[in-house]
Structure 1
Amino acid sequence: MGDLPRDRTHLVFPFLHTGIDYAGPVLIADRRGRGCRLTKSYICIFVCFAVKALHLELVTDLSKESFLAALHRFIGRRGKPQTISSDNGTTFVGASNDIYNFFKTYSDDIQTEATNKGIDFKFIPPYSPHFGGLWESAVKSVKHHLRRILSLTHLTFEEMSTCLVQIEAILNSRPLTPLSSDPSDLSCLTPAHFLIGRTFLTVPQPPLDNENIKQLERYERIEKLKQHFWQRFSHEYVTALQQKVKWRSSNRDLELGSMVLVRDRTQPPLLWVLGRITKLHPGPDGVNRVAEILTKKGTIRRAYNNICPLPETSSC
């Protein structure tokens, strides 16, 4: 395994070094109500190399003009990047073969356009998707759950754009590492801290888990899709952070004062249960399997399968 690129290991301004990829296609309704016609659209994903923040743009087609329009919207809100990295379109995850033709046809034009704006556009070697693992992982985070929730209903272009912005906020609110080593500090660092200086919050909404999406208003459907995405992503994010080892032995144990992320299915979107370990409860064999955690709402007791320690280093 080779070393990480220099752009991945140095903390700079967000999106100064950016990777892009396409996800899709997603079906968009041309209007509301019955008899609407479904058309294909695509999601252009921008991922920051330094802090792994995401920016999602919905594009109508795979033309050069649509991509440049999405790039201009991205620059207007996130600032002009110094470098943009992408693959050659031959191995785009989940996208149609048209994406390959798009980059094969317009790669020189896009590179020239970006160079005129002071952006260095880089392509990874052909047939080497592992060179772009960062944006491939971003595509998986977005499309893996989005593909499941979009089967519930069809959204218009405006509704889909609103849904993507809320999904973007959920992904950028994920905990990365504790802000400090102080045992009384229950706050964590998220990609949102690098974007707006604080974590993302959402306007409280009533839960819509048990509601039939076909009987909801159009704006309530977007909220239900957001809550559905949050439940899937928050649950699987904790599972992904937990290291899978054989239960016959343990390589490490939780330490007192370490910050952990607690799995809780009842939390509303963008709210993560964070806390500090205050006490460990060993079993009859002397192995710790239960811990007491100090949270903002008090002390709770959880088993290890519902606890995920956050990395203490800045390597994430």
Structure 2
Amino acid sequence: MVIRAVHIELAYDLSGVSFLQAYRRFIARRGIPSIIFSDNATNFQFGAKIIKKLSDQTWCTQEVQEWIVHKGTQWKFTTPRNPRKGGAWERMIGVVKNALKRSVGKKLLDHVELATLFIELEAMVNSRPLTYQSDGEPLRAIRPIDFLIPYAPAEINFANIGDDSDYEEEMSREKGLKNMREINKKLNKFWDFWKSQYLLSLRERGEKIGKNTGKEPQVGEVVIVEEDLPRPLWKLARIIDLIRGRDGIIRTVKLNILGKIFKRSITQIFPLELSSEQQLLKFDNLRIEI
């Protein structure tokens, strides 16, 4: 929750055993969580009971068992039939699930295709800008993925694969390339829908804060600019002037984008997920305190 990263894990079914296998994969890649938040699904309740009794289990190392027994992993369940209690993480899950349904539709994917898609979607979502690092120019976004893979580059795009004469496959080359292109189409669909829903959630959150506090966009504030960019790229800009209409309402802003000045409608800019008032950033050792 601190770095707001998303981890997507493919489970065989909704059983408690499948959950525990997914949990094992999670701690092997991400480490042992200090707190787990979840709804009241029976597989989660089963998992919580098992984790509390890890001293009797043999599937994890002695070090892991001792850590959990002595330090403890707290499991916190939301109020039954009240998903809003999940707050930020429930909203992010909802946006990702809706975008996934839109991108895949009714098409059936095999296990390998689905696992590949999930991991690439995870990287895409974790490449969203949370805030920025420098007060100077150019602005550098700080993303959830930077805390997992520091300074990770943008993803590899497989859209143009197929022209390399050195690429040979003993099995079906065309089938492999077709599979890659199909996955790429789904990723593009996911990106388009997820980005629009994520920006909408930022706007709604900003409007709610503004309504409660009277806060308006400020000169010097860094914002996301809505642009038609390839996944998973985002454009950041700094507000340098506010242009009000005759009614006194801000309708247009002047932005500094990579040293150039542009005018944009107020509807084309979005607040960052973490604003300067909400955070105390410590980028040393990739730590962030909220």
Question: What's the TM-score once normalised by structure 1's chain length?
Answer: 0.67
For residue 111 of structure 1, what is the aligned residue in structure 2? Answer: 52
For residue 231 of structure 2, what is the aligned residue in structure 1? Answer: 269
Structure having the larger proportion of residues in helix: 2
Structure 1 residues 68 and 304, CA, compared in 2 at 3 Å: closer, same or farther? Answer: same
Structure having the larger proportion of residues in strand: 1
Task: State how far apart, in whole Å, the 2-side matches of 1:256 and 1:106 are.
Answer: 49
Q: List per-residue Cα deviations over 1:24-68 (Å, max 9, x = no partner).
A: xxxxxxxxxxxxxxxxxxxxxxxxx22221111101123333222
How is 1:77-88 mapped onto 2 (pairs within 5 angstroms)? 77-88=29-40
Q: Within the alignment, does 1:169 sit opposite 2:123 as a pair?
A: yes
Q: List per-residue Cα deviations over 1:141-200 (Å, max 9, x = no partner).
A: 2211111222152211111111111111121112222223x2524122221121122255
For residue 187 of structure 1, what is the aligned residue in structure 2? Answer: 140
Q: Within the alignment, does 1:235 sit opposite 2:196 as a pair?
A: yes
For residue 217 of structure 1, what is the aligned residue in structure 2? Answer: 178
Of 216-225 and 227-236, more deviation after overlay is shown by 216-225
Task: State how far apart, in whole Å, the 1-side matches of 2:139 and 2:115 are.
Answer: 33
Please tell me whether the aligned partners of residues 190 and 199 of structure 1 are also in contact (alpha carbons under 8 angstroms): no
Structure 1 residues 194 and 125, CA, compared in 2 at 3 Å: closer, same or farther? Answer: closer
For residue 137 of structure 1, what is the aligned residue in structure 2? Answer: 91
Write the letter of the residue equivalent to 2:108: H
Structure 1 residues 157 and 186, CA, compared in 2 at 3 Å: closer, same or farther? Answer: same
Structure 1 residues 169 and 297, CA, compared in 2 at 3 Å: closer, same or farther? Answer: farther
Identity score, percent: 32
Aligned length: 245
User: What secondary structure sits across from 1:293 in the alignment?
Assistant: strand
User: What secondary structure sits across from 2:7 in the alignment?
Assistant: strand
For residue 77 of structure 2, what is the aligned residue in structure 1? Answer: 124
For residue 257 of structure 1, what is the aligned residue in structure 2? Answer: 220
Structure 1 residues 296 and 162, CA, compared in 2 at 3 Å: closer, same or farther? Answer: farther
Please tell me whether the aligned partners of residues 38 and 78 of structure 2 are also in contact (alpha carbons under 8 angstroms): no
Question: What's the TM-score once normalised by structure 2's chain length?
Answer: 0.73
Please tell me whether the aligned partners of residues 124 and 231 of structure 2 are also in contact (alpha carbons under 8 angstroms): yes
Q: Where does structure 2 lack aligned partners over 5 or more consecutive residues?
A: 58-64, 161-176, 280-289
Task: State how far apart, in whole Å, the 2-side matches of 1:254 and 1:105 are.
Answer: 47
User: What secondary structure sits across from 2:53 in the alignment?
Assistant: helix
User: What secondary structure sits across from 1:56 in the alignment?
Assistant: coil
